[in-house]
Structure 1
Amino acid sequence: MSKAHSGLLLVVAVALVDGEGRVLVQQRPPGKPMADLWEFPGGKVEPGEVPEAALVRELGEELGIEVAPDALVPAAFASEGLGGRHLLLLLYVARQWAGVPEPRHASALQWVKPAEMRALAMPPADVPLVDALERLL
């Protein structure tokens, strides 16, 4: 058995799916780790938070939209070493939300079909989730 990581980083993300089967991705801003890469909106789960509550909070902060916890459908996960820590990324799908997404913490937003995501530079943990989304949508 290998040496344990210094910590598990639990992250939640969402594939917001519009009526045309497109998914919203956001571009990481300059100066941040993995700057300019395209990713699913979301963020870290804080201590004491359940994943769905964390995602509802993050979507309000990052995109200015409201998503009901019961509108979040678990879809896939990714497990990735990240320096001395280990990232566990839980991906949900949502087809209903209130408000119009705006890039509050991102350089840009775009709506793309899952197959089009292959042409985007994405963080390593997001890449395997594209296959899962293609099968689901």
Structure 2
Amino acid sequence: MTAVREIHVAVGVIFRQGQVLIARRPDHVHQGGLLEFPGGKVETGESVQQALVREIREETGLRIAPDALEPVIEIRHDYGDKRVFLDVWAASSAQGSPEGREGQEISWLNVCDLADADFPAANRPIIRALRLPRQYAITGIAADTTAYLRQLEQGLRTAKPELCLLRAPNLSDDAYAQLAAWSLEACRASGARLLLHGSASLLEQFPAACGLHLPWHEARQHSARPVPDGYLLAVSCHNEQEIAHAGLLQADFITLGPVMPTPSHPGATGIGWRRFRELVAVSTVPVFALGGLSLKDLAEARGAGAQGIAGISFWWSSV
């Protein structure tokens, strides 16, 4: 049997006034009629940035400087008859007025209006990545409930995280539920989204949460996505097998680590950035780097293929 060759495709997410440029694939091509982010095949001898600048100019007439491009996500997807490697980059300073120079329909859309069903399956992790922030804030420990609430409110006020996780594995179910109710109210008031940590039943109890983060011992018990569409699903992962299982569950993102030793996981050695990059390469969903990291590590995490960093210390004062 002849091996299916992987096609390297440069994909551009072009922002303008809070919207992204979207094209519709011609009916006669692979995945015809669906929407897509503009871009095209990386030719021999081209860098991905050179390919993207060329393709965007040829397809839409927009001019982009190579150094204005920032990495978004890398995606490998097997359609059965075709395998693609989508190398996705973003730009917010494209010059000119876009037009469909190849006869394709193009338009500007808000990120919140991008629907999975309108895009080829390989594009869907891009939508996830665009809707996620660069920092995933995880709650730390506190001496008591009063101290916890004080530190939560302080962190929400000073760090202003967009996405938070209420992680408190040391608490009883009742105590966690009490904190969840208070935390949801505090996050709602600050505009932050809160994920709960534990079993899928938590969303039945707290439907106002934006999603669920499954620790691995919970994730391994499921063979399909355990939360309804409209909620975020995250999974804690540490190796290739767990990453593959998160993909099976149709997770919206994963956390991966620990990258470095961290006080929250005493005794766990970090996997390091090289191993982190290797594992990110097999993920089909956005990945947050986790473990012993600070905001100073964000650039290195992004360079290793991460969506961003997850952790406690960059926003929680009691670590």
After TM superposition, the score normalised by the length of structure 2 is 0.40
Helix, strand or coil for the counterpart of 2:132?
A: helix
**Aligned: 1:127 with 2:124:** yes
List gaps (5 residues or longer) in structure 1: none
Q: Which has the higher contact order (CA 8 A, sep 6+)?
A: 1
After TM superposition, the score normalised by the length of structure 1 is 0.89
- Which shifted more, 81-90 or 55-64? 81-90
Match of 1:33 in 2: 30
Helix, strand or coil for the counterpart of 2:127?
A: helix
Contact map agreement 2:75 2:87 (CA 8 A) in 1: yes
Contact map agreement 1:5 1:86 (CA 8 A) in 2: no
* CA shift for structure 1 position 119: 6.1
**Aligned: 1:76 with 2:80:** no
User: Number of aligned pairs?
Assistant: 134
Match of 1:15 in 2: 13
* CA shift for structure 1 position 84: 4.6
**Aligned: 1:66 with 2:66:** no
Larger radius of gyration: 2
Match of 1:113 in 2: 110
- Which shifted more, 34-43 or 100-109? 100-109
List gaps (5 residues or longer) in structure 2: 135-319
Helix, strand or coil for the counterpart of 2:115?
A: helix
The C-alpha deviation readout for 1:108-134, integer Å capped at 9, x for no partner, is 111111121116511111111101011
Query: Following superposition, which runs of at least 4 residues in structure 1 exceed 6 angstroms of deviation?
Result: none
Helix, strand or coil for the counterpart of 1:126?
A: helix
Match of 1:101 in 2: 98
Match of 2:4 in 1: 6
Question: In the superposition, relative to structure 1, how do residues 106 and 42 fare at CA in structure 2: closer, same or farther (>3 Å)?
Answer: farther
More strand by share: 1
Q: Tell me, in whole angstroms, the C-alpha distance in 2 between the residues paired with 1:104 and 1:112.
A: 19
* CA shift for structure 1 position 45: 0.3
The C-alpha deviation readout for 1:73-92, integer Å capped at 9, x for no partner, is 11112110133542110111
How much identity, in percent, do the aligned residues show?
Answer: 33
* CA shift for structure 1 position 30: 2.3
Q: Tell me, in whole angstroms, the C-alpha distance in 1 between the residues paired with 2:103 and 2:89.
A: 20
* CA shift for structure 1 position 36: 1.1
Contact map agreement 1:10 1:88 (CA 8 A) in 2: yes
More helix by share: 2
The letter of the residue matching 1:67 is: I
